[in-house]
């Protein structure tokens, strides 16, 4: 069976606009059934859709593990290339501050999902990482089995999927198997044996198969390839310039360190000289005092010691 590669933004959008398929995938990622899913198409804007980070938001009704239901905002981002963490903080800030993300008078809880086309430095071997909050009582660390709207509105859970780690893992869970269809290289179509994938996800595979028949989708994938090549070249140039700048900065820092060291040595020399001068002056004052006691004229003492008249008179 041939399917379109969902690593492409246009293909992923094609898939996520099919409500049932989107619910299947997000339910599997959350490990909680998504009962209702409202797609927010206004998020597909040139501001955020730049072919390196693709973002889509949903308003969802979720059945929780205790059997209750909750409304939540789900922000899903698919990231092909390394990108600034500040960008994601900015996206979160937009979600937290938007008055549209309300249920009545209460802000919707937020769940973020990141599908990464690259590794996290310290967690390379873990395909799916879940960051889940707990309420803990200070002192006892007792887990508080409640949900407080105030806390839910100001904190959020997060799920991070590392596609390169998925490729390297041999034994996969059901979710990992369906996520492994994301091919990181620039391959438009993927040949799969659909009978090897969980029955639950057959609709996802079918939709991705249909995407290959859509001429507009195929053409957009080609355009994405061209843009991604340019983005990678820009990123390589940026990294090269950054390395050159860092090398120059390191050299300049080394020069400054050497100058600082020279100045420190000169300061020590001056300090020693000042100390010696103070000791010499002290000895001269002792001599002046002794000569004064012997009745030697002050003018002669000044001449012999080099002290000022004030210094001689003060001893």
CB atoms within 10 A of CB 190: 17
- Mean pLDDT computed over 292-302: 87
Give the total residue count for the chain. Answer: 315
Query: For residue 216, what are the contacts with CB-CB under 8 A and spacing of at least 6?
Result: none
- Compute φ and ψ for 284, nearest 5 degrees: -65, -40
Per residue in 101-148, pLDDT (tens digit) is 888 888 999 999 999 988 898 998 899 999 999 999 999 999 998 888
62 vs 64: CA distance, rounded Å = 6
Report if pTM > 0.85. Answer: no
Summarised one tens digit per residue, pLDDT across range 206-254 is 999 999 888 888 888 888 888 877 777 877 888 888 888 988 998 899 8
Most confident option among 33-47, 216-230, 249-263? 249-263
């Amino acid at each position: 069976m041939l399917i379109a590669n969902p690593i492409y933004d246009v293909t992923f959008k094609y898939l996520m606009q099919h409500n049932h398929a989107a619910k299947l995938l997000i339910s599997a990622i959350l490990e909680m059934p998504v009962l209702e899913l409202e797609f927010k198409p206004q998020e597909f804007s040139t501001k955020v859709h730049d072919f390196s980070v693709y973002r889509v938001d949903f308003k969802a009704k979720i059945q929780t593990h205790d059997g209750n239901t909750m409304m939540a905002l789900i922000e899903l981002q698919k990231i092909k290339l390394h990108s600034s963490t500040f960008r994601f903080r900015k996206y979160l800030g937009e979600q937290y501050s938007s008055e549209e993300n309300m249920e009545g008078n209460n802000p919707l809880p937020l769940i973020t999902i990141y599908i990464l086309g690259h590794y996290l430095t310290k967690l390379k071997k873990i395909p799916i990482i879940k960051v889940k909050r707990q309420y803990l009582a200070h002192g006892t660390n007792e887990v508080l089995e409640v949900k407080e709207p105030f806390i839910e509105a100001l904190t959020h859970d997060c799920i991070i999927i590392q596609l390169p780690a998925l490729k390297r893992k041999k034994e996969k869970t059901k979710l990992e198997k369906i996520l492994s269809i994301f091919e990181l290289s620039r391959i438009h179509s993927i040949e799969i044996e659909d009978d090897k994938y969980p029955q639950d996800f057959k609709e996802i595979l079918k939709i991705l198969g249909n995407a290959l028949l859509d001429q507009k989708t195929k053409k957009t994938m080609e355009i994405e390839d061209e843009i991604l090549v340019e983005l990678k070249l820009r990123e390589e140039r940026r990294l090269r310039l950054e390395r050159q700048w860092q090398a120059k900065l390191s050299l300049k820092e080394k020069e400054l360190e050497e100058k600082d060291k020279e100045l420190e040595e000169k300061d020590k020399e001056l300090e020693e000289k000042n100390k010696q001068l103070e000791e010499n002056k002290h000895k001269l004052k002792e001599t002046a005092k002794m000569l004064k006691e012997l009745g030697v004229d002050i003018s002669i003492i000044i001449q012999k010691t080099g002290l000022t008249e004030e210094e001689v008179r003060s001893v």
